[in-house]
Chains A and B, each alone.
Chain A
Amino acid sequence: MENRPLEYDYTVAKMFMFTTIVLGIVGMLVGVILAFQLAFPSVNTFLGSGLAEFTNFSRLRPLHTDAVIFGFTLSGIFATWYYVGQRVLKVSMAESGFLMFIGKLHFVLYVIGVAAVVVSLLAGVTTSKEYAEFEWPIDIAIVIVWVLFGMSIFGLIGIRREKALYISVWYYIATFLGVAMLYLFNNMEIPTMLAASPAGESGIGAWYHSVSMYAGTNDALVQWWYGHNAVAFGFTVPIVAMIYYFLPKESGQAIYSYKLSLLSFWGLMFVYLWAGGHHLLFSTVPDWMQTMGSIFSVVLILPSWGSAINMLLTMKGEWQQVAASPLIKFMVLGSTFYMFSTLEGPIQAIKSVNAIAHFTDWIVGHVHDGVLGWVGFMIMAALYHMAPRVFKREIYSKSLMATQFWIQTLGVVLYFTSMWIAGITQGMMWRAHDEFGNLAYSFIDTVTVLHPYYTIRGIGGLLYLIGFLMFAYNIYKTMTAGRKVEESELQNASPMGA
């Protein structure tokens, strides 16, 4: 065999780039369908009443959340890890047959897990725990996939040439450890076939069914400790890992303050895990726990803004790049939406505000300005930056990317503004009462009032989906028809065709 120079090997990164795009389309398409179902209930039977079981809101909703969290976002995390990990550790996966095998196995088992999730959720098989709907056999498969991810991370770290671990690597490690702990504890469950009823019946229910090991308030507490930290370790920590690599790299600027990045990292780690109680304000959990959830949520502004400001200041003196490059635009707006979302969340966690916001569409708006504006933008930016490097071709179209940026930005703005208005309207109407304490409105009154905002939300979501399809097309054309580029063109700013 000839003596070729060592190169980074992006085989596994490419595989996960593919699932990021496919599952992104699936998750967002289902989301748009759901949005229009809420505005126009007849959409629940858009494939005819015979298939209504599979197309109604309640069957599709977990498919949307799980496809975007565990499909799109997780694939994006894996794709960027298999790219960033090699580069900042200065070691190629081609150097270790074992790690390459683990990486490919990781991908294959992940795809099998995704298929099992899609089939089981469409079939209505669910544990009924939000974002943890998978029954125990799938949970076990997911644990195996996660262990393989961990082996990849620590395996690559083990053979690295760069002694210091770059800040992004710390965030990836935290993602791995955080999700591992959360997932294991929240999914402690007993298959019903092992259970016996007080009447002495055993082997109850189908083999795949299970019940949570926790009950009542405890179950709610564990569930929201998990649910909120799924946001922390799925939507925040790994996305911060991405921006700490991709924004400095694409702009050619050193991080404004590396020390601030370390301080924010530990701040985030210490504070985030305690904030989940804010999902249970005014419920049956102990009062001090609710207060703790509120306080830690407010404190959380500091480490979140520490990272976001650090990224914006990294662009100090280089703002012409924001105007010139749509790729930088995605990251800078993503960082801005991160700041916005991490200010909005703590405000909603304040008890008096939460009394209005809880259970309303404002929460849905909050989630989506975070995931559409921050998570989605950052993952797409990461893939745009990676594409020329893994395919050795320039990005197919800069103008298409710029158009996509503005369409999606408009989509996000329509989404969260409509949900703000809808949510606050809802919250106020639910609370309104006369001097005797009789409620002023019935539920259907709110539904009637909210209809226009639900329609606007659907349109906002549709615009975002259209933008995502443009992104998928742009990446596809980059892969197949982009101009071939030399290594020397790939230093910082990504090469883009007109």
Chain B
Amino acid sequence: MDIAEIQAYGYFGLTAFLVFVLYSYIYHLYSTDKKEGGHDYENYSNIALKDDIEDTPVSTISDDKEK
């Protein structure tokens, strides 16, 4: 096996790995969305829409302390 062949396998392997990581992340985003203990991702848009200083935070820091 010469260097070019090793590079070719390496290149294929790296591409496959990156595709795997990408799809895993997408799967992670959708599987934890709106679940208990996960995040309601789309609700985070309201951080910008409801950003007056008196508005209730979408997820407050103090939530953590209560748990």
- Across the interface, do A249 and B48 meet the contact criterion of CB distance under 8 Å? yes
Collect the chain A residues with CB atoms within 8 Å of residue B51's CB: 87-88, 90, 249
- Across the interface, do A166 and B25 meet the contact criterion of CB distance under 8 Å? no
Q: Does B29 make an interface contact (CB < 8 A)?
A: yes
CA–CA, A496 and B34, complex, Å? 39
- Across the interface, do A164 and B44 meet the contact criterion of CB distance under 8 Å? yes
- B:10-53 near A, CB below 8 Å: 18, 22, 25-26, 29-30, 33, 39, 41-49, 51, 53
Collect the chain A residues with CB atoms within 8 Å of residue B48's CB: 87-88, 166, 168, 244-245, 248-249, 255
Collect the chain B residues with CB atoms within 8 Å of residue A258's CB: 41-45
- Across the interface, do B58 and A254 meet the contact criterion of CB distance under 8 Å? no
- Across the interface, do A163 and B60 meet the contact criterion of CB distance under 8 Å? yes
CA–CA, A162 and B56, complex, Å? 9
Q: Does B66 make an interface contact (CB < 8 A)?
A: no
- Across the interface, do A90 and B33 meet the contact criterion of CB distance under 8 Å? no
Collect the chain A residues with CB atoms within 8 Å of residue B64's CB: 163
B15 to chain A, nearest CB (A): 10
Q: Does B6 make an interface contact (CB < 8 A)?
A: no
Q: Does B61 make an interface contact (CB < 8 A)?
A: yes
A458 to chain B, nearest CB (A): 40
- Across the interface, do B42 and A248 meet the contact criterion of CB distance under 8 Å? no
Q: Does B55 make an interface contact (CB < 8 A)?
A: yes
Q: Does A359 make an interface contact (CB < 8 A)?
A: no
Counting chain B residues whose Cβ lies within 8 A of the other chain, the interface size class is 20 to 34
A 83-127 to B, binary, CB cutoff 8 A, 1 in contact else 0? 000011010100000000000000000000000000000000000
Collect the chain B residues with CB atoms within 8 Å of residue A166's CB: 44, 47-48
CA–CA, A13 and B26, complex, Å? 36
Collect the chain A residues with CB atoms within 8 Å of residue B53's CB: 6-8, 90, 92
- Across the interface, do B57 and A161 meet the contact criterion of CB distance under 8 Å? yes
- Across the interface, do B29 and A88 meet the contact criterion of CB distance under 8 Å? no
Q: Does A441 make an interface contact (CB < 8 A)?
A: no
Q: Does A470 make an interface contact (CB < 8 A)?
A: no
B34 to chain A, nearest CB (A): 11
CA–CA, A410 and B42, complex, Å? 37
- Across the interface, do B58 and A259 meet the contact criterion of CB distance under 8 Å? no
Q: Does B5 make an interface contact (CB < 8 A)?
A: no
- Across the interface, do A259 and B30 meet the contact criterion of CB distance under 8 Å? yes
- Across the interface, do A254 and B57 meet the contact criterion of CB distance under 8 Å? no
Q: Does A167 make an interface contact (CB < 8 A)?
A: yes
Q: Does B63 make an interface contact (CB < 8 A)?
A: yes
CA–CA, A168 and B39, complex, Å? 18
Collect the chain A residues with CB atoms within 8 Å of residue B42's CB: 254-255, 257-259
Q: Does A193 make an interface contact (CB < 8 A)?
A: no
A245 to chain B, nearest CB (A): 5
CA–CA, A257 and B43, complex, Å? 10
Q: Does A309 make an interface contact (CB < 8 A)?
A: no
A469 to chain B, nearest CB (A): 31
B12 to chain A, nearest CB (A): 13
Q: Known: A7-B53, A90-B55. Contact between A163 and B61, CB under 8 A? A: yes
Q: Does A355 make an interface contact (CB < 8 A)?
A: no
Collect the chain B residues with CB atoms within 8 Å of residue A5's CB: 54
- Across the interface, do A248 and B49 meet the contact criterion of CB distance under 8 Å? yes
- Across the interface, do A161 and B44 meet the contact criterion of CB distance under 8 Å? no
Q: Known: A161-B61, A162-B57. Contact between A259 and B47, CB under 8 A? A: no
A 130-171 to B, binary, CB cutoff 8 A, 1 in contact else 0? 000000000000000000000000000000111110111000
Collect the chain A residues with CB atoms within 8 Å of residue B55's CB: 90
Most buried by B among A248, A254, A258, A262: A258
Q: Does A205 make an interface contact (CB < 8 A)?
A: no
Collect the chain A residues with CB atoms within 8 Å of residue B45's CB: 248, 254-255, 258
Q: Known: A90-B57, A161-B57, A162-B59. Contact between A254 and B49, CB under 8 A? A: yes
CA–CA, A270 and B19, complex, Å? 12
Q: Known: A90-B51, A92-B53, A259-B33. Contact between A163 and B44, CB under 8 A? A: no
CA–CA, A259 and B39, complex, Å? 11
A266 nearest in chain B by CB position: B25
Most buried by B among A88, A162, A262, A266: A162
Collect the chain B residues with CB atoms within 8 Å of residue A248's CB: 45, 48-49
Collect the chain B residues with CB atoms within 8 Å of residue A245's CB: 48
Collect the chain B residues with CB atoms within 8 Å of residue A168's CB: 48
Q: Does A428 make an interface contact (CB < 8 A)?
A: no
* Given pairs A90-B51, A267-B22, 5 additional interface contacts (CB within 8 A): A6-B53, A164-B44, A164-B59, A245-B48, A258-B41
Can you list 26 A-B contacts with CB-CB less than 8 angstroms, sorted by A residue number? A160-B61, A161-B57, A162-B58, A162-B59, A162-B61, A163-B57, A164-B39, A166-B44, A166-B47, A166-B48, A168-B48, A244-B48, A248-B49, A252-B49, A254-B45, A258-B41, A258-B43, A258-B44, A258-B45, A259-B29, A259-B30, A259-B41, A263-B25, A263-B26, A267-B22, A270-B18
A residues engaging B (CB < 8 A)?
5-8, 87-88, 90, 92, 160-164, 166-168, 244-245, 248-249, 252, 254-255, 257-259, 262-263, 266-267, 270, 288
